[in-house]
Structure formats: structure tokens, C-alpha cells
């Protein structure tokens, strides 16, 4: 009888151990699955070259000159991996919480609505950056049309829900409700721990600094599009060179945003190229562009990536396929160096609600960007 009890005890012990192992395996599996569903399989890229090893990346963190230079081919070669020691920033295109989108969120009483399908991805990053196209002001008229933009201050709840950390305000609509509307928006963002950049201070472009993992990143934005506002940094060669050089002295890495170009075109203008190159020559490590409302090419200039236009992100231009398309730029840094970029296409539905593009649409969009980037005439 004692032998039988001992046998049962041993059997129970091994059954318990087995149950524990199954539980651990299940937790690991579903944890992995939860991470993967943030981005469809087409985007889950894995390095097979120098950066495939966490150990190798760790060994070159102290000497960033050992990192291979990023190329256009790297961006489109389907090899990408975030490591424990890399820093991941996400940049999105034109985001207007105005007009039809403001009307929708106000009527629903749900200011998360524009970001429902993309919030998990944005929150997943170390930093998420948006181009906020329009002021958020009290008593904003609820309308579906018009070119004087505004949104309810409650729309900041949507930005917080989406995990937005930094907002570029150097654009042609942030001043649509005058300096008072601009100031209210800046204060609102700061009160909600969203760092604005692209404005001026005492007549000079203000530099926004962000520290992550011992690296200081400087954000600076410029607007090229009429009308000029004294409180928004203007994009001209002299101002850009001076401000970017100053930012480079105050930080380890300089990220420059431009609101520029010609709407509804695929190709950057000659002036856009000149301004981008001036920024890089002055110390920019990454250049991000907005305003054309169409996706535009990627260029690598002097080893520095320039994304001329990310297209639309949260916008109500449902009247054409191209204005319904945009990119999320997933940028990986090792210390202050951009070592890889993944472009994630989005499709806008229902006048302002982006979703991650399905495999067919994503392949079409990425193929198009790859072609226009390879054939970019400068």
C-alpha cells in the first residue's frame, strides 16, 4: 500500500511538472503571438547579415563607425530586426484631427476613433512622432468641409491613446486660428506630455531635446508652405543651416522635419532636394517630409536617409486612392546612428481611420516607392 502511494505521488509530481512546462510554453507562445499581431507577417523582417546578432550589435555600440552604411536596398530588402539595445522611433504622415475627422470624433464622443487600428503598433515603439496638421482649440466649429482647420481640444485624448510622444507643428495649418490658437495647442500638448517642435523662440527655431538610453535626440521642424508665421520655423537655406548646426552641438542625433513641396505629386521639387541636402550637410541624421499628401521617394544622401513625404496618415481626403495611402516609417537607431528603416504602408478608411495595409496593397505600395526611389532624378 505504501508502494502504491509512493508511485501515485511520483506520478503526480511528474504530471505537475508537465503542466507547469506546458503553461510556461503557452505563455511564451502567446506572448510571441501578441507581439507578431501588431504587424502583419509581411513586415516581420529578420536580419541575416551583420546586424542579425544582438552580440554583434552590442560590440559595435561603442564604435558606430563599425555600422554598415544604410542603403536604399537595405530599406527594401526585407531584413529588419529590433534588438534589446536598439531604439525604435515611428514617424507618421499628415495627421489632421480637423474637419470630417473632428466631426466624427465629436459626434461619437470617442476621440480614440482615428487610431483604433494603429494604436497598438504606435505604442510598441520607444517614441512615436506625428505631424499635427491643425490647431486644437476651444469652440472649434464642427464641420465637414473648409480649408481653415481646427479640432476640439479633446482630440488630444486620441493622441495619448495612440502613444504619440512628439508632435511636429511646423506646417501651414497650425496657425489657422492665429497665434492664440497656436499657443493654446502648444500648451495643450505640453500639459499632456506630448513634446511639440517646429516652433520658434525669440525669432529662432526652437530645438526640442529627447533623451533615450543615454543618447540625446534633437528634433527641429521647418515649414516651407505659405503663409509664413513668425512663431513657426521658416524653411530657408540660411535658417536651416544655422539651426541644424546648433542642434548638432546640443545633441548626439538630429532629426529634421520639413513641411514642403507640391501637393499631389510623386517627385520632390528641386528646392526640396536642396533644403534636405542643406540639412544633412549641416548635421542632420534623418530627414522626414510632409505636406504633398502623396507618398514620395526615399533618398540616401551622404549616408543619411531622406524620406521626402510619408503621405497621409489621419486625413479625410477619400477622393483618390493615393490620398488614402501613407507610410509609417519604423526607424531603428544604435546610439545616434540610423541603422535600419522599415516602411509600413497604411490605407485610410471612412474619412480618417488608417489601418495597416494588407499584403497585396503593401506589396503594391512598397514596389512603387522602391521604383520611384531608384529612379529619383536629382
| Per-residue pLDDT, 85 | 82
> What is the separation of C-alpha 297 from the centre of its chain, rounded to a whole number of angstroms?
16
pLDDT of residue 259: 98
3-state secondary structure 190-216: HHCCCEEECEEECCEECCEEEEECCEE
Task: Please give the pLDDT value at position 65.
Answer: 58
Residue 102: closest CA among 126, 77, 137: 137
What pLDDT was estimated at residue 66?
Answer: 60
pLDDT at 41: 52
pLDDT value of residue 78:
67
Report pLDDT for 123: 96
Q: How far apart are CA 15 and CA 181, in angstroms?
A: 66
Positions in the chain whose pLDDT score sits under 70: 1-67, 78, 81
Q: 197: closest CA among 125, 254, 238, 155?
A: 254
Asked whether 329 and 90 are in contact (CB, 8 A), the reply is yes
Q: Are 216 and 164 in contact (CB under 8 A)?
A: no
Find how far residue 149's CA is from the centre of its chain.
Answer: 22
How confident is the model at residue 348, as a pLDDT?
A: 98
Question: Residue 63's pLDDT is what?
Answer: 57
- The three grid cell numbers given for residue 223, joined into one nine-digit string: 515649414
The reported pLDDT for the residue numbered 46 is 37
341 contacts 70 by C-beta, under 8 angstroms: yes
Amino acid at each position: 500500500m505504501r508502494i502504491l502511494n509512493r508511485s501515485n505521488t511520483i506520478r503526480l509530481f511528474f504530471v505537475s511538472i508537465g503542466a507547469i512546462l506546458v503553461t510556461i510554453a503557452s505563455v511564451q507562445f502567446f506572448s510571441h503571438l501578441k507581439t507578431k499581431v501588431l504587424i502583419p507577417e509581411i513586415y516581420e523582417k529578420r536580419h541575416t547579415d551583420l546586424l542579425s546578432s544582438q552580440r554583434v550589435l552590442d560590440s559595435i555600440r561603442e564604435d558606430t563607425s563599425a555600422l554598415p552604411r544604410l542603403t536604399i536596398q537595405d530599406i527594401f530588402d526585407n531584413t529588419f530586426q529590433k534588438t534589446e539595445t536598439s531604439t525604435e522611433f515611428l514617424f507618421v504622415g499628415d495627421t489632421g484631427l480637423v474637419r470630417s475627422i473632428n466631426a466624427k470624433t465629436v459626434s461619437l464622443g470617442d476621440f480614440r476613433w482615428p487610431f483604433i487600428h494603429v494604436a497598438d503598433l504606435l505604442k510598441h515603439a520607444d517614441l512615436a512622432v506625428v505631424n499635427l496638421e491643425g490647431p486644437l482649440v476651444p469652440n472649434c466649429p464642427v464641420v465637414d468641409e473648409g480649408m481653415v482647420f481646427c479640432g476640439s481640444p479633446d482630440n488630444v485624448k486620441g493622441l495619448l491613446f495612440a502613444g504619440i510622444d512628439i508632435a511636429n507643428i511646423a506646417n501651414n495649418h497650425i496657425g489657422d486660428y492665429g497665434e492664440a490658437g497656436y499657443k493654446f495647442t502648444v500648451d495643450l500638448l505640453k500639459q499632456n506630455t506630448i513634446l511639440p517642435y517646429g516652433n520658434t523662440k525669440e525669432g529662432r527655431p526652437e530645438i526640442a531635446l529627447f533623451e533615450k538610453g543615454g543618447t540625446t535626440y534633437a528634433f527641429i521642424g521647418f515649414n516651407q508652405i505659405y503663409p509664413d508665421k513668425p512663431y513657426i520655423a521658416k524653411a530657408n537655406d540660411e535658417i536651416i543651416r544655422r539651426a541644424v548646426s546648433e542642434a548638432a552641438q546640443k545633441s548626439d542625433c538630429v532629426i529634421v522635419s520639413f513641411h514642403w513641396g507640391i501637393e499631389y505629386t510623386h517627385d520632390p521639387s528641386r528646392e526640396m532636394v536642396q533644403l534636405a541636402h542643406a540639412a544633412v550637410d549641416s548635421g542632420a541624421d534623418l530627414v522626414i517630409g510632409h505636406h504633398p499628401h502623396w507618398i514620395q521617394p526615399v533618398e540616401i544622401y551622404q549616408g543619411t536617409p531622406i524620406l521626402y513625404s510619408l503621405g497621409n496618415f489621419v486625413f479625410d481626403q477619400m477622393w483618390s486612392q493615393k490620398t488614402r495611402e501613407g507610410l509609417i516609417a519604423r526607424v531603428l537607431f544604435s546610439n545616434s546612428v540610423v541603422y535600419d528603416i522599415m516602411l509600413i504602408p497604411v490605407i485610410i478608411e471612412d474619412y480618417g481611420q488608417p489601418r495597416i495595409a494588407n499584403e497585396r496593397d503593401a506589396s503594391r505600395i512598397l514596389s512603387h516607392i522602391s521604383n520611384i526611389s531608384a529612379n529619383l532624378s536629382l
